[in-house]
Structure 1
Amino acid sequence: MSEQTQPSTGFDRVLHFTLPDRDARGRAVRLGPVLDTILSAHSYPAPIRQILAEALVVTALLGALLKDKDGQLTLQAQTQDGVVDLLVCDYRNGELRGYVRHDRARLDELGPAPSLFALFGEGYLAITFDLVATGQRYQGVVPLEGGSLAEACQSYFFQSEQVPTLIRVGVSHSSKGCVAGGLLVQHLPDGEDGRERLHARLDHPEWEHVSTLAGSISDDELVDPQLDLESVVWRLFHEEREIRAEPGAMLTRGCRCTADYYRDVLSRFAAADIDGMKNDDGLVVVDCAFCSRDFAIDLP
């Protein structure tokens, strides 16, 4: 495959690719305007902006693995004793959203670049795949360990899915905004579908080759807006006999909150419960954490 057989991807779009001779598949993404929109919903301090940007990239990469276009991928990191007690992001059909809840006073004591452990303590990472087409839900939970969310997700795939996985994420902050990019590569011997993967090995020679090449990607390459995603993949794997690449869905800020949606949810509560939620004006005010908006719902 030549480097330019597909249209170039810019910001806020995923690139799908496979290496048929190596039994490997991958996803690449670079977030720009969508990332700024999500981060601007709250006045997040720099360390929280950093961890949320990383989480949104990982969520976009994992969400792009879904074959069910109406399915949803949810990534949630949670702890009871951490400075960050909740981080949640989800992806559905190209819609991306995320939110972080944290203790600002404790965060200020950590300095400008706290570690993952400093932020979360002994937390856990839950990854949930909701498949609308089949009505099935798959969830894996692993300790929130390693130097980054990407490393924790790699552990999830090997422990819960028996799929050797490499994930790299880069984030750049400037006066022009935030740019974040990511690369995910997986080893899928015997094909992607319908096979037992218990035999997948981290020391498989094909996987060693692919992971070594993919692991050479730099943060600068991941966030460079002048380097399209096709070129990133081509740089890494240009010596392969065949690379199959296809642009994925456009990414948008996907907060799905509307007054009608909340009115429908509240209509399922008992009248006495609704009365207890009303303010002095007789309205139920719902706060959407994802987009930082209040919805005043008038119910009988």
Structure 2
Amino acid sequence: MLKNRWLPLTVACSLLLLSGCQTTSQTIEVTQPWHLLPMAVPLQPTTQQEVQLARIDQILLRDDLTDQDKAQIYYERGLVNDNLGLRDLARLDFNRSLSFNPAQPDVFNILGVYFTQNGLYDAAYEAFDSTLELDESHQFAERNRGIALYYGGRYMLAERDLIKHYNDNVNDAYRALWLYLVEVEKDGLEAAKAQLTTRYANSDKQDWGWEIAKLYINEVSEEQFFRDIMLTSQNNAQLAQRLCEGYFYLAKRYQALGDISSAVALYKLAMSGNVYDYVEHRYAMLELSRIAQQVAQQSLSKS
């Protein structure tokens, strides 16, 4: 299992990855044995983001702003704070934005994601329902409500949302992946794998996320999967994004197999690149919280 094969990173491996992801197949074959986990340099705030925040703060000092202006500006600052991982500040900005304009489907959608992250599922359902009432074609809210229902243990309703979401674009791998995760809980691992195999075969296979699907249906090994990520990532940002996704979905796989210690390690790695705006980063913390609660409950039961 994962915990037996993959050892902590050595200094040599870290130095290789800190060199900016300029790797070749020869470099990987010679210097990166595959019992070591690849990592990216954690993403940091950019100058552009810092300047954007400073400009927004200056604009908010003006006394000629309309309520519509304030709603838009607070929403934009909330997005920047969210991308920087400043979730509490972002949530405050989103709530301020709604106070000036309550008819904003995008704001309700992201607040619904925050509620899901914090395990407040009823509040999340209401937020996503509000989004869809304001904009019935809002597909992100449709997906996010399905994910919230999945985490809330309402698998039939989650499957309903996510099947519709998948049918809207059968070539989007991530729609198929979240539907697969629901079907694992609802129908069992083998039935879900058979469905994902069919969806992979019927897709155009252009989306990078299908590489994750291939991992789930045993079309590619873990070793080759991470080798491909290292070879095809164009820069450190893309490497961090792909590893965030790869580690999260691999963690889900090990968790489904009952290897909780490996899943915990992988969820932590999914968060290590600071890709704050990816759903995989958002829900890795939720997964860790749920596992911690389960372990605590089991300890109480034994005592």
Give the TM-score, by structure 1 length. 0.24
Name the structure with the higher strand share.
Answer: 1
Name the structure with the higher helix share.
Answer: 2
Give the TM-score, by structure 2 length. 0.24
Higher relative contact order (CA 8 A, sep 6+): 1
